[in-house]
Amino acid sequence: MRLAEAWRVAWDALRANRMRSALTMLGVVIGVASVVLLVAIGTGTKQRVEQQVEGLGSNLLLVVPGRLDVGSAPAVSPLTLQDVDAVGRVVGDPSRVAVTVASGATVRAGNREDFTTVQGVLETTPTVFARELGRGRYLTGSDVDTGRRVAVLGDSVARSLFPDREAVGQQINVAGVRFRVIGVFVPLGQSLGVDRDDEVHIPVTAAQRLYGTQRVDAIAVKAPDRERIDELGERIVAELNGRHPGTEFSAVTQEQILGVLGDILGILTGVLAAIAGISLLVGGVGVSNIMLVSVRERTREIGLRKAVGARPRDIGVQFLLEAVLLTSVGGLTGMALGVGGALLVAALSPIPAAVTWWSLALAFGVSAAVGIVFGVVPAQRAGRLDPVVALRAE
């Protein structure tokens, strides 16, 4: 039998049992759609995170206690402002060094309040992290040196506390201490469902007094050039190791952060795809099941076809094509649904989704392969049927 003819026969057979074919396909449709959608979300998330890490500013080194690695727990920081000065000396330019000591706190203004992240920082933050002020001014060196109670608000905090007034010049109350608002950041928007404008910057000295601590959580350095960034990191780590024997420090670059985040998100995407793959497998078992039913139902047809000259192979190919047709039509439908779902998720929710051609190719290839794998047994069974027995079947 010619292959085109076999395709037509397979198509007719599926059309003859429309409801059953549709329900069998549904398993594959759901499997493929979820593979496409979940891989799109994983890929989109990865792209978004990479953009954001790159958006932090160029030539950035983050100095943290402990190791930056998948699965390592954050360590309590032994770093102090003296260490920051030491790092500044290593770098040779204190204006390239930023710090943060961050804590969640309730911020009040009048009868309004907002729970937000209050970060103690140096005046160098806008330079190191490329942050822009929307209005007012940022912290100065003297604000930091004197621990002045002044604050720069993220856009969301400003809107929340002062919905109908200009925030700059107003008083806010952070954990029972009054601060004066001196500036508001340009909005950054959301990332991964997190509002990046939900923060308040105050002088690190004021923050340490507020939280009753001497520590700083992390130090960030904007390296003068890209080529010597690793060497600079090593010198900083050596300096800090000398100052804090027994504690390990890491200086990591954006590339390293991207690598670690990429690993995490890659694993996440893989796990999602594997879960979706299981549903595709279940769909395949459904195909196998329905093909066995179909072979049994059409035993007489198989007998007749053999009587008039169909070879075992002709019959096998016919049933195999039927299974492949089921899964590939299901696969195409699932791809369309997955792509549609990904576009919908990207448009209507903060979750990013990026459909990649390889996930489509993979999903379609896998669904066609599922048809072959799960169609082979029923097809062989059909092909090997004894025509005499088959013709007698009820």
Partner 1 sequence: MSRAPAIEAVDVSRTYQLDGVSVPALRGVSLTVGAGDYVALIGPSGSGKSTLMHLLGGLDRPTAGRLVIGGREVGTLSPPELARLRNETIGFVFQAFHLLPRTSAVDNVALPLVYRGVGARQRRERAAAMLGRVGLGHRLHHRPNQLSGGEQQRVAIARALVTDPTVLLADEPTGNLDSTTGAAVLELLERLNTESGVALVMVTHDAEVAARARRRIAMRDGVVVADSAALPGEASVLGEARPADGGGGR
Whose structure tokens read 């039927």?
A: 322
For the CB of residue 261, give the shortest distance to partner 1 in the complex, in Å. Answer: 57
CA 163-167-171 angle, 5° bins? 110
For the CB of residue 304, give the shortest distance to partner 1 in the complex, in Å. Answer: 5
Q: In what helix (H) or strand (E) does residue 369 lie, and over which residues does it extend?
A: helix 357-384
Judged by CB, which is closer to partner 1: 178, or 392? Answer: 392
- How distant is the alpha carbon of residue 340 from its chain centre? 19
d(CA 278, CA 262): 24
Judged by CB, which is closer to partner 1: 6, or 251? Answer: 6
Q: Which residues bind partner 1 (CB under 8 A)?
A: 1-2, 5, 12, 16, 300-301, 303-314, 386-388, 391
Judged by CB, which is closer to partner 1: 178, or 311? Answer: 311
Q: Both tokens of residue 25?
A: 């396909």
CA 349-30-47 angle, 5° bins? 40
For the CB of residue 19, give the shortest distance to partner 1 in the complex, in Å. Answer: 15
For the CB of residue 307, give the shortest distance to partner 1 in the complex, in Å. Answer: 5
Judged by CB, which is closer to partner 1: 135, or 311? Answer: 311
For the CB of residue 293, give the shortest distance to partner 1 in the complex, in Å. Answer: 17
Judged by CB, which is closer to partner 1: 46, or 305? Answer: 305
For the CB of residue 7, give the shortest distance to partner 1 in the complex, in Å. Answer: 13
String of DSSP letters for 266-289: HHHHHHHHHHHHHHHHHHHHHHHH
Q: What are phi and psi of 111, to 5 degrees?
A: -95, 10
String of DSSP letters for 279-323: HHHHHHHHHHHHHHHHHHHTHHHHHHHHHTT--HHHHHHHHHHHH
Judged by CB, which is closer to partner 1: 1, or 102? Answer: 1
| Beta strands per DSSP E along the chain | 60-65, 97-109, 112-121, 133-136, 150-153, 171-174, 177-185, 190-191, 194-195, 199-203, 218-222, 249-253
Judged by CB, which is closer to partner 1: 213, or 380? Answer: 380
For the CB of residue 315, give the shortest distance to partner 1 in the complex, in Å. Answer: 9
